[in-house]
Structure 1
């Protein structure tokens, strides 16, 4: 069985992560769930259930030096939903958050990685966002943004149920095949 690291930021589609884990497991993945600290706070009432669902601890912070790895090695990584902050920190190499540190290192380890942002149309007007998307693509990350990926909505008009999770799961499988 292949191992998928599913890393999620604090955007409304994160509330569907249990269903997404089940879908990934049905696709044959052993799923390890990592969250940004804010996403972990949003899902704090569900963390134990999500750990039971995956069979692995849910992580949002770095382990201490010398502690053994709690997860098997990743065959692939999916970062979704990825907020404006997560995308920019990753592209800029700012690794104070566990999930951003793992994906930044994942580039160097050549772990097949896909990311699907979840940002509104106002955020993407900031000039750093497009630079970050191009930086990640240039580093070999599959960025599911724009045509054939996530399309930003106007602020306050997002529909979390319409977030294209299936597209993200299919893309991460596709980068391995």
Structure 2
């Protein structure tokens, strides 16, 4: 059995940012983290300020090995996460989708998403929106704008308002499936 090369000589794993929004299913983000890690990704989580209240921050940090980010760092503070090779926004709310498409950067999560376009970082979004909100004229326009920007959009269809079982249809791993063709082949 051969020896492992020193850590400094081992190939660097690609880094995935998972951006989590304030949604009832956000607490299941560990499903996406596990799927990404099984596909040899390192993962860091960025939560919207309200999204923090929907996840177990301690468990997510333990699973990823990185602190969860939600606020901008102060000038001169070290970057707690490496730069991303790709970004998955899951679950993505009505609010985040519309602000992102409009270029609004009023949270760290939105700032990262707006900047990712200019940096050419492959980005996938898995909307989790109810049908009443999805019927608002801004929503389909925002999805179209994101598509024009090259954002890869998941197939989840809006659920009825107040639906309790809608989370069962949410396919967390779809974010990785969408991103796979946009990334260089890995071993």
TM over 0.5, shorter chain: yes
Paired position in structure 2 for 1:10 = 22
Paired position in structure 2 for 1:39 = 51
In the TM superposition, residue 42 of structure 1 has moved relative to its aligned partner by: 2.2
Work out the number of aligned pairs and report it. Answer: 171
In the TM superposition, residue 58 of structure 1 has moved relative to its aligned partner by: 0.4
Structure 1 residues 12, 174: CA separation in 2 closer, same or farther (over 3 Å shift)? farther
Matching of residue 156 in structure 1 with residue 162 in structure 2: yes
> Once superposed, which parts of structure 1, at least 4 consecutive aligned residues long, lie more than 6 Å away?
none
Larger Rg, first or second structure (1 or 2): 2
Structure 2 unaligned regions, length at least 5: 1-12
Give distance in 1, aligned partners of 2:109 and 2:131. Answer: 24
Paired position in structure 2 for 1:28 = 40
Structure 1 unaligned regions, length at least 5: none
* Contact 1:5/1:74, CA 8 A, preserved across alignment: yes
Q: TM-score, normalised by structure 1?
A: 0.92
Between stretches 107-116 and 162-171, larger displacement belongs to 162-171
In the TM superposition, residue 19 of structure 1 has moved relative to its aligned partner by: 2.4
Deviations 1:64-118 (A, max 9, x none): 1222211111000000110000000101111111111101100000001111110
Matching of residue 119 in structure 1 with residue 119 in structure 2: no
Paired position in structure 2 for 1:133 = 143
CA RMSD, 1 decimal: 1.2
Matches within 5 A, 1:77-116: 77-116=87-126
* Contact 1:13/1:161, CA 8 A, preserved across alignment: no
- Give the structure with the higher percent helix: 1
Matching of residue 71 in structure 1 with residue 55 in structure 2: no
Q: TM-score, normalised by structure 2?
A: 0.87
